[in-house]
Amino acid sequence: MDLYDIAVIGAGPCGSVLSMLLAKQGYKIAVIDKRNLDCLPPTRSKACGGLLSPDAQRVLASLELNLPNNVLVDPQLFSVVTIDLETGLQRHYQRFYLNMDREKFDRYLVSLIPDNVVRLFSTMVKDISSDSSGYQIFTDDNKSLKTKIIIGCDGAGSIVRKKMFNDLKMNVKNYYAIQHVYEYSKYNSNYYAIFDKNLTDYSGWAFPKNGTFSIGMAFKQESEGNSFFDILIEKLEKKGMKLGKLIKKEGALLLRPCGIPKVYAKKDNTAFLAGEAAGYISPSSAEGFSFAFNSACALAEAFKKGGNISKNYCKLTLKLRIKLILKIIKARLMYNQYVRKIIMALKINAIR
Ligand SMILES: Cc1cc2nc3c(=O)[nH]c(=O)nc-3n(C[C@H](O)[C@H](O)[C@H](O)COP(=O)(O)OP(=O)(O)OC[C@H]3O[C@@H](n4cnc5c(N)ncnc54)[C@H](O)[C@@H]3O)c2cc1C
pLDDT tens string 52-96? 999 999 999 999 999 999 999 999 988 999 999 988 899 999 988
Long-range contacts of 163-168 (CB under 8 A, 24+ apart): 163/127, 163/128, 164/128, 164/130, 164/266, 164/271, 165/264, 165/271, 165/273, 168/262, 168/264
Residue nearest to atom 37 of ligand 1 (CA): 154
Please tell me the distance between residue 248's alpha carbon and the centre of ligand 1 in angstroms.
Answer: 18
Please tell me the distance between residue 255's alpha carbon and the centre of ligand 1 in angstroms.
Answer: 11
Asked whether 46 and 116 are in contact (CB, 8 A), the reply is: no
Task: Write the CA distances from 147 to 125, 130, 154, 232, 239, integer angstroms.
Answer: 13, 10, 17, 47, 55
- The mean-pLDDT minimum among 3-17, 120-134, 179-193 falls in 179-193
Please tell me the distance between residue 155's alpha carbon and the centre of ligand 1 in angstroms.
Answer: 5
Reported pTM? 0.96
Q: Is 204 in the pocket of ligand 1 (CB under 6 A)?
A: no
Nearest by Cα to 229 from 192, 260, 257, 198: 198
Say if residue 41 is preceded by a cis peptide, omega within 30 of 0: yes
Q: Domains of the chain, with CATH numbers?
A: 3-39+102-169+262-332 (3.50.50.60), 79-101+172-256+334-345 (3.30.9.10)
Q: pLDDT at position 342, please?
A: 82
Please tell me the distance between residue 179's alpha carbon and the centre of ligand 1 in angstroms.
Answer: 14
Residue nearest to atom 5 of ligand 1 (CA): 49
Strands of the chain (E only): list them: 3-9, 29-32, 51-52, 79-84, 90-94, 98-99, 118-120, 125-131, 134-139, 144-152, 172-183, 191-195, 204-209, 212-220, 246-257, 271-273
Asked whether 53 and 287 are in contact (CB, 8 A), the reply is: yes
- The mean-pLDDT minimum among 31-35, 241-245, 348-352 falls in 348-352
Write out pLDDT tens, residues 203-246: 899 999 999 999 999 999 999 999 999 999 999 999 888 899 99
- The mean-pLDDT minimum among 68-77, 243-252, 283-292, 335-344 falls in 335-344
Q: Is 287 in the pocket of ligand 1 (CB under 6 A)?
A: yes
Q: Is 216 in the pocket of ligand 1 (CB under 6 A)?
A: yes
